[in-house]
Structures are given as structure tokens and as C-alpha cells.
């Protein structure tokens, strides 16, 4: 059975001229092209990234924030969708690009479940995972930026009996912040700092988590400090403020 392998090429990326020094690495995922856009603006050991291109508010926040403070930023550019769709060997698949960083995660995220042809799709997903992990590997701290929709997912999802409760070591809910705007981290020191700042924050359980293949799981397993700045779509000011808080925190601790 023939497998389609990934080809890469670094070229200047003109579509996001708002980012200084923007470059793109074009990757073939089956018959689809994924552009990994990078903007390296400082010698900082912190990398900001966006995995889901449909979460536009987080990209807009990164653009605006980078005009004030130089940051290193990576995001995926494909069809402005959460899931990436591709064909391989005449079969149509899709994967969530934030669920491909462990073997178990890749098994769960691939749709549809073509058992006979699953190896092809897993190979493609693993290559994409490796490309992203290689780009983030030089950095000490990873800061993901995500957006959610009202009601469906919030910090309350991490409370006992919530859908994300199994991933939670501790959770702090602030009366100051909307439940959709919060920080998720793998590091106790970050959790304690943000709790003291009265920010919505969740500490991941790095021992009893659900292995969904997400980047937070991968970082938890590898001991890489990880932060997710999560905000409701359209909450630009709130996500910008959370980004300021995280930047300030990383400068101090």
C-alpha cells in the first residue's frame, strides 16, 4: 500500500504581513497543504502558538500583542477550520491538529475509522505532529492560545462531574472573570501565581489525565512548562489582558 509522505519548504509568508519576519513551512498532508507560519521576533525562550485556525480571536490578539512586545509565534494556516481534512489512497480523513501528539491521541482523533486503511492516516498525522514538535522544541515554555464558544466549554468544565474533571488537579474560579476566559497550565508555580492574581486558572493533573493526544498532555508527559490562554471567541480585550498577565508572569518567575 502506497503512503504519501510529507514535503516541506520554507518560504516568506506574505498573507500575514502584520507579523514581522513571517515565514511559512508548507507541508503536504495527504493531498492537502498545511502552512505552519512562524514569526520569530525575539530571543525569548517562550513560544506562543495557535493550533486551530478557526479560533481567529487568538490570532488577532497575538498580532496586536506582538506590536507592543516582540514575541515568537507559530500558527497553522489551512482552510480556517478546526479539523484538517485530507485524502490518502482514495480515502477521506480528518484530524484535530491538537490531538495528534501521542499515539493514543492519533487513534482517537482520526475520522472516519477506516480500520483497513488507518495506518495511512496515522502516518500522516504523526508526520504533522513531528513537524510541529520539532519547531517548538527549542523553547522552554509553550503558550497556546485558544478560543471557545459560549456555554459549550468553560472553566466550569473542570469542576467535579464536569467533562474535563479527570484532567484536573486543582481549579480556581474568580468572580472577576467570565467563566469562558481562563488559563490552563501544567505547572504548579504558574497556577499559584495566577490564583494569587485572581485569574481563572486550572492545574492539569499530569498523572491521571485523559490521554487525548493534546499538546498539554504531551508537555505534561515531557515536563515542558505549558500554558493555554483560553477565551471566548470575540473576547479580544479579555484574551489580550490574559496575555499581558502571562507575559508579566513569565518575566518574573
Residue spans per domain, the chain: 8-252
Q: Position of cell 490521554? A: 211
In Å, how far are 46, 74, 188, 219 from 139, measured between CA atoms? 6, 12, 19, 12
Q: Given this model, what pLDDT does residue 116 score?
A: 62
Q: What is the pTM of this model?
A: 0.90
More confident residue, 19 or 109: 109
pLDDT digits (tens, 9 = 90+) for 189-244: 999 999 999 999 999 999 999 999 999 999 999 999 999 999 999 999 999 999 99
Q: Hey, what CATH class is 8-252 in?
A: alpha beta
More confident residue, 16 or 8: 16
Amino acid at each position: 500500500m502506497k503512503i504519501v509522505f510529507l514535503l516541506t519548504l520554507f518560504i516568506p509568508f506574505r498573507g500575514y504581513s502584520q507579523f514581522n519576519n513571517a515565514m511559512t513551512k508548507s507541508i503536504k498532508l495527504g493531498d492537502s497543504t498545511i502552512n505552519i507560519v512562524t514569526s520569530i521576533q525575539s530571543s525569548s525562550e517562550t513560544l506562543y502558538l495557535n493550533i486551530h485556525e478557526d479560533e481567529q480571536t487568538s490570532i488577532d490578539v497575538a498580532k496586536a500583542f506582538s506590536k507592543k512586545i516582540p514575541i515568537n509565534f507559530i500558527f497553522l494556516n489551512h482552510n480556517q477550520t478546526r479539523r484538517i481534512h485530507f485524502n490518502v489512497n482514495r480515502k477521506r480523513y480528518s484530524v484535530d491538529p491538537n490531538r495528534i501528539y501521542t499515539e493514543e491521541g492519533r487513534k482517537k482523533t482520526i475520522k472516519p475509522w477506516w480500520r483497513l486503511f488507518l495506518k495511512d492516516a496515522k502516518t500522516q498525522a504523526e508526520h504533522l505532529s513531528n513537524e510541529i514538535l520539532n519547531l517548538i522544541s527549542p523553547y522552554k515554555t509553550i503558550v497556546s492560545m485558544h478560543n471557545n464558544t459560549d456555554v459549550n466549554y468553560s472553566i466550569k468544565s473542570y469542576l467535579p462531574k464536569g467533562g474535563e474533571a479527570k484532567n484536573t488537579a486543582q481549579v480556581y474560579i474568580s468572580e472577576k472573570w467570565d467563566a469562558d476566559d481562563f488559563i490552563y497550565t501544567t505547572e504548579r508555580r504558574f497556577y499559584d501565581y495566577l490564583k494569587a492574581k485572581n485569574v481563572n486558572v486550572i492545574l492539569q493533573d499530569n498523572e491521571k489525565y485523559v490521554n487525548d493526544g493534546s499538546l498539554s498532555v504531551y508537555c505534561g508527559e515531557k515536563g515542558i512548562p505549558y500554558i493555554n490562554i483560553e477565551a471566548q471567541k470575540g473576547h479580544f480585550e479579555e484574551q489580550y489582558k490574559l496575555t499581558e498577565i502571562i507575559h508579566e508572569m513569565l518575566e518574573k518567575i
